[in-house]
């Protein structure tokens, strides 16, 4: 499930990048490129749609990131590594107790 959520996060991130790049801070953006005498959506509605889609994608990425952290397998591989490391520490000799050159 973690990998599926990660793919969704990647796709939404790319869509968010495109939504931000299409917008223009001075009000031109997508509406300026597709201006016609009888617009279907209009300049203001296009800007509203882009702003809402940007916020929606950002919130969706945040929610999916939180969901991905819940599906991460934190205890599956870590317990094996911890036991191996703990075993090495418990079986280690004290470096000060080993005589050198005698």
Of all helices (H) and strands (E), which one includes residue 102? none
pLDDT tens for 70-90 read 888 654 445 555 677 787 888
Please give the model's pTM, rounded to 2 decimal places: 0.55
Contact 31, 47 (CB under 8 A): yes
Q: Map tokens 């090495």 to a residue.
A: 88
10 Å Cβ neighbour count for 19?
20
Note whether 9 and 63 are within 8 A (CB). Answer: no
pLDDT at 90: 80
Q: What is the DSSP string of 20-74?
A: HHH--TTS-HHHHHT--SS-SS-HHHHHHHHHHHHHHHHHHHHHHHHHHHHHS-S
Report pLDDT digits (tens) over 8-64.
Answer: 999 999 999 998 888 876 655 555 555 555 555 555 677 788 889 999 999 999 999
């Amino acid at each position: 499930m973690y990998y599926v959520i990660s793919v969704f996060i990647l796709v939404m991130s790319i869509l968010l990048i495109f939504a931000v790049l299409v917008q223009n801070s001075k009000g031109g953006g997508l509406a300026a490129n597709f201006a016609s005498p009888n617009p279907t959506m209009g300049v203001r509605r296009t800007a509203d749609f882009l702003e809402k889609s940007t916020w929606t994608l950002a919130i969706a990425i945040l929610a999916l990131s939180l969901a991905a952290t819940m599906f991460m397998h934190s205890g599956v591989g870590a317990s094996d590594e911890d036991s191996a490391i703990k075993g090495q520490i418990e079986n280690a000799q004290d470096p000060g107790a080993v005589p050198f050159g005698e």
